[in-house]
Amino acid sequence: MMTDSTMPAHAPAATPETQAQLLPFVLQLADTSLILAHRLSEWCGHGPILEQDLAMANIALDLLGEARSYYQYAAELEGKGRTEDDLAYLRPAVEYRNPLLVEQPNGDFAHTIVRQFIYDAFHYHLLLQLQQGPDAQLAAIAEKSVKEAAYHIKWSSEWVIRLGDGTDESRQRIEKAIRNLWRFGGELTTSTSTEQALQAAGLVPNYTALRQQMEAHVARVFEEATLPVPEGVFMQQGGKDGRHSEHLGYLLAELQYLQRTYPGLQW
């Protein structure tokens, strides 16, 4: 599924200022993939059927790979000799820039699916645009990752449809998951000041257009799932500026504990 590009056809050459702005953006992408990978990996060995254990580990692994590419690029942009592990393991929660959605707990399988689907609907369309962008490194990472994201969105869409148009119980559960998680979807396409500056420089896609693509995708899948698209939900914000929900602190305590206990070693 291709969408029209919202990137300018001839992006102006990036200035040193926009390059400096690129670092927080790339870190945000990295943190987002890492945190969602972490959540999915918590399912390991506890999925509803072996095939889905395999699928969730697979998606987690893809996202972790994507996170590593972004962290490596971020470390390069920063130019202070930090590594992917320094960036993942030694930054406190207030420096993490992932949107609130991806740090939400797994809940039941319906919660995991709804979280994944909302994110995939954004992620897939974002990557389609980023791969056409003027920043060669970001475009290359997006080109690799979009192939994986196309698989993820197929998986999560199919499960939204199965659960929405399955049994009474599955429908009740997915409706509850949608009620709980919908409020985190808006942040994905709400630009931060960093993103606005990068959009103006043509390095980041137009988020208004991206939101339309994302909403069209969600509407299509929800229709097939016989689920109504919620309206008038107040959208929470903050994760991309480092203001997180209470869940992230615990997640990072677990993720970072070995590096914090034994700093500066090779593993």
Single-letter code of the amino acid located at 161: I
Residue with tokens 């990295």: 30
Give the span between the Cα atoms of 33 and 66, in whole angstroms. 7
Is the distance from CB of 130 to CB of 206 less than 8 angstroms? no
Tokens, residue 105: 């707990």
Nearer residue to other proteins within complex by CB, 26 or 203? 26
Nearer residue to other proteins within complex by CB, 171 or 211? 171
- Rounded least distance, CB 70 to other proteins, Å: 11
Nearer residue to other proteins within complex by CB, 132 or 137? 137
- Rounded least distance, CB 165 to other proteins, Å: 5
- Rounded least distance, CB 196 to other proteins, Å: 30
Is the distance from CB of 204 to CB of 25 less than 8 angstroms? yes
Nearer residue to other proteins within complex by CB, 75 or 214? 75
Is the distance from CB of 18 to CB of 203 less than 8 angstroms? yes
Give the span between the Cα atoms of 165 and 180, in whole angstroms. 19
Nearer residue to other proteins within complex by CB, 71 or 119? 71
Nearer residue to other proteins within complex by CB, 57 or 209? 57
- Rounded least distance, CB 232 to other proteins, Å: 28
- Rounded least distance, CB 169 to other proteins, Å: 5
Binding site for other proteins (CB under 8 A): 34, 38, 41-42, 44-54, 57-58, 60-61, 64-65, 67-68, 71, 84-85, 88-89, 108-109, 161-163, 165-167, 169-170, 173, 254-255, 257-259, 262, 265-267
Give the span between the Cα atoms of 96 and 98, in whole angstroms. 6
- Rounded least distance, CB 145 to other proteins, Å: 15
Which candidate, 72, 93, 19, places its Cα nearest to that of 241? 93
Is the distance from CB of 170 to CB of 163 less than 8 angstroms? yes
